[in-house]
Structure 1
Amino acid sequence: MEFEPVIAIIAIFIGLPWVILHYVTKWKTNASITTDDEVLLEELYNLAKRLDDRMDTVERLVASDNPEFRPARIMHDSEKDNQQLRELEELIAEKKGAMK
């Protein structure tokens, strides 16, 4: 009696689907962002926004003292960047509204 074909069939029809379903389940449970992650992302967003404002202020102060100063950023307070920030702020506001 040879057990190798039986073991191979069991591995293909039972073992392989079990492994695939196991990792699909793990993937689905880990795919969502937690509330703590959302809070952290919002704090990081607010911090980045404040730092960007500070950078604009520093560049204005240095430019007023030194007329030859050229900011490292190509264009500060860019409309393209501001549009993306407004969209992000709207998403955050919608999320807060949905949570209340």
Structure 2
Amino acid sequence: MEDVFLPIIIVGMLFIGLPWVILHYMTKWKTAATITTDDEVLLEELYNLAKRLDERMDTVERLVATDDPDFTPARRLIADQEKDNQQLRELEQLIAEKKGTRS
């Protein structure tokens, strides 16, 4: 009797269990690889906050530079340099495309 059940169990595992496991994890990988709309909104808010903070840092550095002529600001992204602006421009373009407008 055991000789009959063992092949049935093995065939069932091969043709039902294995495809089920593979399809289950394929579905999990596909859903995990996407970014939700809430995540996109949060990223856009963080990007806008970072831009505002950068502008504030520029203002603070200008104020300190007027008080102390020996002041040299720390090296960071500078808005006037082309190489620093390229990635920011690409990000702004992606955001504009996502909203349906082009900048």
TM-score normalised over the length of structure 2: 0.76
Which residue is 1:69 aligned to?
Answer: 71
Unaligned runs of 5+ in 1: none
More relative contact order, 1 or 2 (CA 8 Å, 6+ apart): 1
* 1:8-52 deviation line (CA, Å, top 9, x unaligned): 443233212211100111222232222222211111110011111
How many residues are treated as equivalent by the alignment?
98
Unaligned runs of 5+ in 2: none
The amino acid of 1:72's aligned partner reads: A
The match for 1:22 among 16, 21, 24 is: 24
What is the alpha-carbon distance in structure 1 between the residues aligned to residue 36 and residue 13 of structure 2? 36
TM-score normalised over the length of structure 1: 0.78
Which residue is 2:9 aligned to?
Answer: 7
What is the alpha-carbon distance in structure 2 between the residues aligned to residue 35 and residue 97 of structure 1? 15
Could you tell which deviates more after superposition, 24-33 or 5-14? 5-14
Matched, 1:83 2:86: yes
Contact 2:65 2:71 in 1 (8 A): yes
